[in-house]
Amino acid sequence: VNAVAVTPEGQVISGSGDNTLKVWDMQTGKELRTLRGHSDWVYAVAVTPEGQVISGSVDNTLKVWDMQTGEVLTTFTTDTPILSCAVSGDGRTVVAGDTSGRVYFLRLEGG
């Protein structure tokens, strides 16, 4: 596990070297779901106040996930691996960093 985040509902999201994100029940510790879509290690996870999950990977992508369906809503592609991400307090902006030293500021739709 390379990264973890907690949803507003109290679920834990983990990003791993098996290229997946896993959703866990914080109270029981049981795995609820596996999110597949990255093709390499997941190094960054963040959650919006509305519960969307953001993940960054060594596959040079940043993905936005719908937690209700487990589907990828959008993918942002970079030239180098994404190693970190965070969401602004208002949930409108995602900030991500890659291995080249770039910092990205992405505005989420509807924000």
* Ramachandran sector of residue 29 (left: φ over 0; alpha: ψ -120 to 50; beta: rest): left
Rounded Cα gap, residues 56 and 72, in angstroms: 12
Residue 2 three-state SS: coil
Helices (H), 10-111: none
The whole-number pLDDT of residue 67 equals 87
Q: Which domain holds residue 25?
A: 3-107
For residue 48, what pLDDT band results from cuts at 50, 70 and 90?
very high
Structurally, the chain folds into a number of domains equal to 1
Q: What is the CATH number of the domain that holds 103?
A: 2.130.10.10
Condensed to tens digits (0 to 9), the pLDDT of residues 50-91 reads 889 999 999 999 999 998 899 999 999 999 999 999 999 999
Contacts of 34 (CB under 8 A, 6+ apart): 20, 21, 22, 23
Mean pLDDT (the chain) is: 95
Rounded Cα gap, residues 109 and 111, in angstroms: 5
